[in-house]
Structure 1
C-alpha cells in the first residue's frame, strides 16, 4: 500500500508540477505587491480555487484513462529533459489525449492570462 501511495504521489508531482509551480509563483509574487489592489479574480484564494479545480479534473482524467495514467507513471525517475521529450512525443502521437489535457488545463491558462502570471513559472513542455 505504501508503494502505491508513493506512486500516486509521484504521478501527481509529474503531471501537476507545472500547475503547482504556477500557483506558487503567483502566491509568492503577489506578496511583494500587497499594497496594490489585486486584479479581480486574481487573489490568492482565486488562484488556489482554479488550480484545485484543474488538479481535481486531472486526477479524475488519469484514473479514468489508465493508459494515460500508466504513461505518466512511467516518467518517474527520469531526468526532466527526458520526461519532457517523452511527454512531447506521447502527446504528438496521441492528439486526442493532448486535446483533452489541454482542455483540463485551460482554466489555469485563462487565469495566467487574466492575472498576468508569467509562463516562465511553469515547467516548460511538461503537460
Structure 2
C-alpha cells in the first residue's frame, strides 16, 4: 500500500454512521412512513405473565407489590393503576379475548348482564 492512500479514522466512521441513522429517521418521518398514534385508547397498559402453580411447588416472586390492582369490569378482569384509577385496561389473552373474572358453570347465564341494563329490585315483603 502506498503512503498517499486516504485512510479514515474510527471517529469519522462513527460520525458518518450517526449522521446516516439520524438522516434516515428524518427522511422516514418526513415521508410519513413512521406512524404515530394519537389514539391512546388502544395502547397496551402493560405486559403480564401467568405463573402456573402446582400444589407443593414453590415459585419466586418479587416481594415488592406492583402499582396496579385488578377489578372486575363488565364481567372481565381489568387492570388499573393505583395512582390513576381512570387508567384502566381489560386483560386479554394472546388472541385478544377478554379474561373473565368469574368461572362459568352449566347453570350460569351465558352472557354477563351489562351495568347499563336496568336491574329490577325486589320489593320487601310486608307482613300484611
Structure number with the bigger relative contact order (C-alpha 8 A, sep ≥ 6) is 1
Could you say which structure has the higher strand fraction? 2
Indicate the TM-score class for this superposition, using the shorter chain for normalisation: under 0.3
**Structure of higher CA gyration radius:** 2
Calculate the TM-score normalised by the size of structure 1.
0.19
Calculate the TM-score normalised by the size of structure 2.
0.19
